[in-house]
Amino acid sequence: MIRHATPKLAAYAGLSAAGLLAALVVARPELVALTAPFLLALAAGLVLATPPRFDVDVTLDRQRVLEGDIVTTRVALTASGPVDRLDLYVRLPPGVELEQGDNPMALRLRSGEQRELEFDVRAARWGGHVLGPTYLRARDPLGLLVWERTQPIRPELRAYPREDVLRRVLRPAETQVLSGNEVARAKGEGIEFADIRPWAPGDSLRRVNWRASARHSALRSELWVNEAHPERNTDVILFVDSFAEARLDGRSTLDLAVRATAALADSYVGRRDRVGLIGFGGILRWLVPGTGIVQLYRIVDALLDTQIVLSYYWREIDVIPRRTLPPNALVIALSPLLDARSVGALLDLRARGIDLAVIDVSPVPFTRRPADGLDAIAHDVWTLRRGALRHRLQRAGVAVAEWQVSTPLQAVLEEVRSFRRYARHARV
Amino acid sequence: MITGLAALAALAAADTYAVTAAGRFASVSLGLATASIVLLVLGLLLRLPSTIPWALLAAAAGYLVGIQGRDTVDGWAAVIGVALLLAAELASWSIDHDKRIRSERALVVRRAATLAVLAAVALFVNFMLLAAAAVTAAAGTVVAAVGVAAAVTAVAIVLRLVRT
Per-residue DSSP letter, A188: B
Nearest Cα of chain A lies from the Cα of B47 at a distance, in angstroms, of: 12
Residue pair B52/B40 in contact (Cβ under 8 Å)? The answer is yes
Nearest Cα of chain B lies from the Cα of A251 at a distance, in angstroms, of: 27
Phi and psi at A167, nearest 5°, equal: -80, -30
Domain ranges of chain A: 2-48, 54-160, 187-229, 233-422
CB-nearest partner of A27 from B67, B137, B148: B137
Q: Give this prediction's pTM.
A: 0.72
Residue pair A106/B97 in contact (Cβ under 8 Å)? The answer is no
Using the CB atoms, write b or e for A65-74: b if 16+ within 10 Å. bebebebebe
What pLDDT sits at residue A214?
Answer: 86
Helix or strand run (H / E) with residue A403: strand A399-403
Q: Which amino acid, A154?
A: R
Instruction: Give the C-alpha separation, A147 to B4, whole Å.
Output: 25
Q: Give me Rg for the CA atoms of chain A.
A: 34
Nearest Cα of chain A lies from the Cα of B120 at a distance, in angstroms, of: 10
What pLDDT sits at residue B53?
Answer: 92
Q: What is the pLDDT of residues A319-378, one digit of tens each?
A: 677 777 888 899 999 999 998 888 888 888 888 888 999 999 999 999 998 888 899 999
CB-nearest partner of B85 from A22, A38, A89: A38
Instruction: Give the C-alpha separation, A190 to A182, whole Å.
Output: 11
Sheet containing A355-361: order of strands? A285-290, A274-281, A235-242, A330-335, A355-361, A399-403
User: What is the 3 state secondary structure string of B62-100?
Assistant: HHHHHCCCCCCCCCCHHHHHHHHHHHHHHHHHHHHCCCC
Q: Residue B61: list chain A partners with CB under 8 A.
A: none
CB-nearest partner of A34 from B50, B81, B104: B81
CB atoms within 10 A of CB A153: 14
**What is Dmax (Cα atoms) for chain A?**
141
pLDDT > 70: percent of chain B: 82
Instruction: Give the C-alpha separation, B48 to B40, whole Å.
Output: 9
> Same fold for the domain at A54-160 and the one at A233-422?
no
Among A145-149, B58-62, B101-105, whose mean pLDDT is lowest?
A: B101-105
Mean pLDDT in residue range B78-103: 91
The overall average pLDDT reported for chain B is 84
Among A61-65, B85-89, B124-128, whose mean pLDDT is lowest?
A: B124-128
What pLDDT sits at residue A245?
Answer: 87
What pLDDT sits at residue A285?
Answer: 82
Mutate to test the interface with B, among A31, A32, A102 (most CBs of B within 10 A): A32
Size of interface A-B (CB pairs under 8 A): 162
Q: Residue A46: list chain B partners with CB under 8 A.
A: 156
Q: What is the fold of A233-422? A: Rossmann fold (3.40.50)
Q: How confident is the model at residue A89 (pLDDT cuts 50, 70, 90)?
A: very high
Q: Which residues contact A244 (CB under 8 A, 6 or more apart)?
A: A308, A336, A338, A339
Interhelix angle B26-46/B2-21, nearest 10 degrees: 170
What pLDDT sits at residue B134?
Answer: 66
Distances (CA, A) of A239 to A136, A243, A258, A260, A335: 44, 12, 10, 11, 8
- On the CB side of B144, CA atoms within 13 Å amount to 37
B105 φ/ψ sector (left φ>0, alpha ψ -120 to 50, else beta)? alpha
Name the domain count of chain B: 1
Residue B121: give the domain boundaries: 2-163
- 3-class secondary structure, A145: strand
ipTM of the complex: 0.88
pLDDT at position A309 over 70: no
The overall average pLDDT reported for chain A is 87
Instruction: Give the C-alpha separation, B92 to B86, whole Å.
Output: 10
What pLDDT sits at residue A318?
Answer: 64
Q: Does the distance separating the beta carbons of B110 and A33 come in below 8 Å?
A: no
DSSP string, A66-109: ETT-EEEEEEEEEESS-EEEEEEEEPPPTTEEEEES-SSEEEEE
The length of chain B is 164
Mean pLDDT in residue range B39-44: 93
Torsion of CA A213, A214, A217, A219, to 10 degrees: -100
Q: Does the distance separating the beta carbons of A44 and B64 come in below 8 Å?
A: no
- Counting Cβ atoms within 10 Å, is residue A355 exposed (0-12), middle (13-18) or buried (19+)? buried
- Number of helices (H) and strands (E) in chain B: give both, helices first: 6, 1
What pLDDT sits at residue B104?
Answer: 86
Q: How confident is the model at residue A75 (pLDDT cuts 50, 70, 90)?
A: very high
pLDDT at position A221 over 80: no
Residue pair B19/B29 in contact (Cβ under 8 Å)? The answer is yes
Instruction: Give the C-alpha separation, B11 to A115, whole Å.
Output: 39
Torsion of CA B20, B22, B25, B27, to 10 degrees: -10
Q: How confident is the model at residue A406 (pLDDT cuts 50, 70, 90)?
A: confident
pLDDT at position A237 over 90: yes
- 3-class secondary structure, A126: coil
Strands (E), A266-384: 274-281, 285-290, 330-335, 355-361
What pLDDT sits at residue A410?
Answer: 93
Beta bridge partners of residue A55, listed in sequence order = A78
What pLDDT sits at residue B150?
Answer: 66
Mean pLDDT in residue range A153-174: 86
Q: Which residues contact A347 (CB under 8 A, 6 or more apart)?
A: A393, A396
Mean pLDDT in residue range B136-149: 62
Query: With an 8 Å Cβ cutoff, is B130 touching chain A?
Result: yes
Q: How confident is the model at residue B135 (pLDDT cuts 50, 70, 90)?
A: low
Domain A54-160 is found in CATH 2.60.40.10 = yes
